[in-house]
């Protein structure tokens, strides 16, 4: 089993490497000290198993899992037990609470072998429902990872099997459906106005009648997006919810 060690503390990585040295069939193929380095190493080395810390600089362990396109088996290792439930919700093989000994690590390795999954099997889908609304979005640009505040997104357009995020004059792509994004993004800010569009309602200037029972949303930068009947109903509902009860007719 080819293993990648991800922990921001060098002594912790050294101890785990020492444990693994005594386990037949285990090969440490690399190490990373933060979330961004972990993403690069996983992409480059394609390990079978990642021993992943939760709290790290840059990206935390859960954000690393969310960004992965091809996901190896994941064993979380952390000093904080409050993350255990989420770890199993995202499909982690095991959850090691520091400090752990060699025997406990060996059991985690055995579980990984027992639960060997096909390459690319999704880990993060179940956890998305448990998250607070995303405050930042991560995009892969070659070997780089871009971090964009969710509030900076003007709208998201479905384009085949990926979503295009419009941020000012830039567009960032991500392989994700609008249905998934509806669950991830703040519903008070982002609204599905059409089967192909999620709108940051803070960018909306007004709705214009395009044809009978057909409307378009005019944004601050002059962009016009189609609004379906269901989308119009959602906009009206959101507008109504934002009016204090004492001011409603």
Could you read off the pLDDT of 21-53 as tens digits, one per residue?
A: 888 889 999 999 999 899 889 888 889 999 999
**Distance (Å, rounded) from C-alpha 172 to C-alpha 140?**
9
Which percentage of the chain shows pLDDT scores above 90? 39
Give which of 156, 138, 158, 134 is closest to 148, Cα–Cα: 138
Strand partners for 51? 5, 75
Contact between 199 and 217 (Cβ < 8 Å)? yes
* pLDDT value at 85 more than 70: yes
The confidence score (pLDDT) of residue 128 equals: 41
Q: How would residue 101 be classed by pLDDT, with cut points 50, 70 and 90?
A: confident
Which tens digits make up the pLDDT trace of 112-163? 888 764 444 444 443 443 346 777 787 877 666 788 889 999 999 999 888 9
- Higher-scoring residue by pLDDT: 85, 29: 29
The confidence score (pLDDT) of residue 135 equals: 79
Secondary structure (3-state) at 233? helix
- Cα 244 to chain centroid distance, Å, stands at 34
Contact between 205 and 197 (Cβ < 8 Å)? no
């Amino acid at each position: 089993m080819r293993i990648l060690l991800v922990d921001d503390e060098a002594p912790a990585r050294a101890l785990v490497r020492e444990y693994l040295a005594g386990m037949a069939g285990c090969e440490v193929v690399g190490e990373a000290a933060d979330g961004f380095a972990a993403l690069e190493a996983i992409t480059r080395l394609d390990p079978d198993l990642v021993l992943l810390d939760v709290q790290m600089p840059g990206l935390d362990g859960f954000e690393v899992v969310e960004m992965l396109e091809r996901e190896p088996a994941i064993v979380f290792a952390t000093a904080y037990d409050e993350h255990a439930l989420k770890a199993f919700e995202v499909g982690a093989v095991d959850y090691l609470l520091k400090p752990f000994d060699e025997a406990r690590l060996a059991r985690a390795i055995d579980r990984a072998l027992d639960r060997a999954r096909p390459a690319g099997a999704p880990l993060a889908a179940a956890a998305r429902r448990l998250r607070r609304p995303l405050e930042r979005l991560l995009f892969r640009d070659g070997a780089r990872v871009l971090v964009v505040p969710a509030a900076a997104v003007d709208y998201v357009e479905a384009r085949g099997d990926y979503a295009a995020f419009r941020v000012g004059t830039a567009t960032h792509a991500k392989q994700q459906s609008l249905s998934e994004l509806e669950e991830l993004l703040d519903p008070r800010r982002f609204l599905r106005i059409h089967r192909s569009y999620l709108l940051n309602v803070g960018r909306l200037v007004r709705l214009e009648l395009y044809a009978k029972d057909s409307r378009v949303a005019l944004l601050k930068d002059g962009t016009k997006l189609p609004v379906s009947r269901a989308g119009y109903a959602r906009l009206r509902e959101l507008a109504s919810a934002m009016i204090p009860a004492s001011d409603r007719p």
